[in-house]
Structure 1
Amino acid sequence: MDTLCFHDGNITDLIESRTLDVRYDINHNLQMHSSLIRRLSQERELEGHLGCVNAVAWNSKGSLLISGSDDTRINIWSYSSRELLHSIETGHSANIFCTKFVPETSDELVVSGAGDAEVRLFNLSRLKGRGPEENAISPSGVFQCHSKRVKKLAVEVGNPNVVWSASEDGTLRQHDFREGASCPPGGSSRQECRNVLLDLRCGAKKSLADPPKQSLALKSCDISSTRPHLLLVGGSDAFARLYDRRMLPPLSSCRKKLSPPPCVNYFCPMHLSDHGRSSLHLTHVTFSPNGEEVLLSYSGEHVYLMDVNHAGGSAMQYTSADASKVMSFAPIVNGVELQSSASSGFPSGSLKSNVAATLDKCRKLVQIAEKSLKEGTNYFHGIEACNEVLDGHGRLIGPMLMHECLCIRAALLLKRKWKNDAHMAIRDCHRARRIDSSSFRALYLLSEALSQVSSMIFIVIGYLAIYDWQHDAKMTY
């Protein structure tokens, strides 16, 4: 942003922030600093597959990379040499969607899941002494108990005996290698595998308040590396579900549909929690390395990072009892909002001069954003300037400058009109009204944002009406 430094600050800013707040995690900010992110570039292109690559995963040391592809092959790559070590003909009859190294096996066991509804286990020790072209190897295990595509596999750190598979048939299964290495195909008369950990064939929800009805086609799953009893799944609706494996019923077969077990928490962005759009679904869910956050990726939507442990201002974490609260805000009585307002206090002593310099820098960034808004050009540039102020120095800037910056960012979002920009503008307007409940600018921008949201709803309704009319006309014809 011009010459005003990165939004997450330089080394001096980070040390100063740690001085002001002992809870400030300087190590995390150094590891994920924007200056490092901007230096990322492509180093090497690895060629070895004949189709789309759908899955990649590292081993625990980061020395090997495994990839799975539409060509039904698994490739093992060396990070140090950037060379293809093995290319395995898996025997899958459809696209491979997921691959994993099995932990604590000296990187000798790998597992794959594919569109043929099978999970296959391979022992790489059988390939020792062979070149990358000598790839004929029979699987050590074949699990055929799913009836639809297997989209994701999960492993537990330190556990070499168990792999979990999430499938579009609505079940998450637990495969224990100690109990057998094969099973009959799903749907056959001999299929009685008691390995269903989660039966969500009646688990999909259109909104948080709705009871589960349709089958939840599972797209992704993950197990926390720090608390392996926590299991996260996502599928064909908007809600990621967090389960405690210690609280789940015993493993069962799929002969009888079961009611979905209660989950610990639902995770979903507020504006998607009551959306009802049939095409909206999760494509990937995962825990952060420390297990404190979850990442949700949606089809045709944004990526969201949320806190596992507590719902703060930016974390949308729900239980079923929260349905009535997802769109509620603190009441305003006699012009005063009934919650704590932003603090205007500043640290004293020798840090005052540093605070003054920070405030001056933030004012310049706000001026840059205001200029972008007035000129009507490069809204993204202005939004980034506001982000630097609010995300990088939000604890220091004081309520008046924060109010101004929130209103400017809301106005820029409404001008940019990317997907969900109106919803984010509504969020900024409510934050501004917490500072000044009688702010005309915040109220005006809030009305503009709500108008944009309602217009989008009417457009969708219009498209649906046209579709229904065309469908009825075809049926009549």
Structure 2
Amino acid sequence: MNLVEILRNREINNQKNYQIKNLQTFDSFIERLDLQTKLIGHEGCVNCLEFTSSGNVLASASDDLHVFLWNPYTTKKITSFQTPHRGNIFSIKFLPKSNDNQIVTGAADHCLYAYDLHSPEDPIFKCRCHQSRVKRLAVAPELPSIFFSSSEDGCIFQIDLREPHICPTDNKIVLIDLKNHQEYVETKCIAVNSRRPEQLAIGANDCYARIYDRRMISLTSIGNDSQHDNLPKGCVNYYSPGHLQNNDNSNKTSIQMTYVAFSPSGNELLVNYGGEQIYLFNIDQAETPVYLNLPKLPPEPIAKPVKNAKVDALKASGNEFLENEKYIQAIRKYTEAIQIAPDNQVLYLNRATALMRRKYFGDVYEALRDCHRALHLDPHYIKAHFRLARSLYEINQLTLSNDCLNELKK
């Protein structure tokens, strides 16, 4: 891979292909990652880090209830101060449009504080309205003096520092209260789409990432007893891996989101599941889960893919890794081959085989999707049909697996 040529083509020809995205995880770059230095100062577990918009200052907050500001280039401490919190600080954010002089923190003591870094000893904002631990905060570059908080009480607050606030309050600061929709819900993480600040992503203790359109939601006060929910129909979209949906295990506490983030372009959502894997969703072209959706069988078998020496070499290398139970390397080789020859059904089936043998969380469902790709390229592909049935069985879709086998018999 010629890095200089790829970047030059991107600049001159606006080239957009798989190689550009692959540079983010290029093996040589990953292998060069190394520890540069340690920033020593905190006396407790460091739970959160945040750069200023310029990247010249790094803020950290800890179980020791202190906030430290660092120069990331000299690796020296700029300043530190003790917060009024009485519980572990879980999140810290620089407030937008404040010249990086204002920050806000949220902690296990249910409290939110905002500070002016010129005199951080006396917070400029205090809120004790959450009923449980505050886990994450979020801001958007184009929303001055506004931040969002998510707590394990199931509530999302929208706070505007330009408005007065007294606890307890009748002020309308509740944007979303998930307790209105389900029991035993805890919001774990939150993110604002910087390109589309009306979009707010929320992760909770279930398998669904939610994206709300704030423009459709009216703020309510805490403890609102109104019978009318403030979330109108159509204000939220849900995203989840197909193998977790309609699964009895998806609502257990072992599956919960710990982090959500929008891509810089604003059209993708990254989701981390505790006890599971990391998933990337295209929010503009979201797909419904695929289980059993067989293509129509044409009268004649599909022609075999055109021979390609490089693809054959990658396939052979993948097969060797597969036989030696080196499944990660096998998957990588098959993926490289697919990027060159995306119409080769055999490569998809081989990757599905490696995925099912690796048995990471989500691998079986990904293998199922590869079987679908292989069958849409060649509906006569018997091995892909059989492995699809096996994949459905493995994710406990027993009725669909039986249907798949019956179609195979036909």
Shorter-chain TM range is: 0.7 to 0.9
Counterpart residue number, 1:353: none
1:21 to 1:438, Cα distance in 2 relative to 1, 3 A:
farther
Counterpart residue number, 1:104: 97
Letter in 2 for 1:183: I
Is 2:291 the partner of 1:327? yes
Correspondence for 1:361 among 310, 333, 337: 310
Counterpart residue number, 1:38: 31
Q: Deviations 1:78-101 (Å, cap 9, x if unpaired)? A: 112111122221111111110001
Counterpart residue number, 2:356: 414
Counterpart residue number, 2:282: 307
Preserved contact between residue 282 and residue 297 of structure 1 (Cα < 8 Å): yes
Classify the secondary structure of the residue corresponding to 2:119: helix
Under a length normalisation based on structure 1, what TM-score does the superposition of the two structures give?
0.75
CA distance in 1, matches of 2:292, 2:391: 17
Is 2:262 the partner of 1:292? no
Classify the secondary structure of the residue corresponding to 1:76: strand
Alignment of 1:190-209 (within 5 A): 190-203=168-181
CA distance in 2, matches of 1:54, 1:448: 42
Correspondence for 1:259 among 221, 226, 229: 229
1:56 to 1:85, Cα distance in 2 relative to 1, 3 A:
same
Counterpart residue number, 1:436: 378
Classify the secondary structure of the residue corresponding to 2:220: coil
Alignment of 1:49-448 (within 5 A): 49-126=42-119, 137-180=121-164, 182-184=165-167, 190-203=168-181, 213-256=182-225, 259=229, 261=231, 262=233, 263-277=235-249, 278-279=252-253, 280-311=255-286, 316=287, 327-333=291-297, 359-374=308-323, 376-390=324-338, 392-393=339-340, 397=341, 399=343, 402-448=344-390
Q: How many residues align?
A: 392
Preserved contact between residue 234 and residue 241 of structure 1 (Cα < 8 Å): yes
Please, which runs of 5 or more residues in structure 1 have no aligned partner?
128-136, 185-189, 204-212, 319-324, 346-355, 457-477
1:174 to 1:372, Cα distance in 2 relative to 1, 3 A:
same
RMSD: 3.1
Classify the secondary structure of the residue corresponding to 2:135: strand
Deviation of 1:106 after TM superposition, in Å, equals 1.8
CA distance in 1, matches of 2:296, 2:18: 35
Letter in 2 for 1:259: D
Deviation of 1:250 after TM superposition, in Å, equals 3.5
Letter in 1 for 2:265: N
CA distance in 2, matches of 1:18, 1:122: 42
Classify the secondary structure of the residue corresponding to 1:270: coil
Under a length normalisation based on structure 2, what TM-score does the superposition of the two structures give?
0.86
CA distance in 2, matches of 1:183, 1:288: 36
CA distance in 1, matches of 2:119, 2:145: 19
Q: Deviations 1:150-180 (Å, cap 9, x if unpaired)? A: 1111112033311111111111111111112
CA distance in 2, matches of 1:246, 1:287: 18
Deviation of 1:246 after TM superposition, in Å, equals 1.0
Taking every aligned residue pair, what percent have the same amino acid on both sides?
31
Deviation of 1:264 after TM superposition, in Å, equals 3.5
Letter in 1 for 2:166: C
Classify the secondary structure of the residue corresponding to 1:57: strand
Preserved contact between residue 115 and residue 123 of structure 2 (Cα < 8 Å): yes
Deviation of 1:302 after TM superposition, in Å, equals 0.6
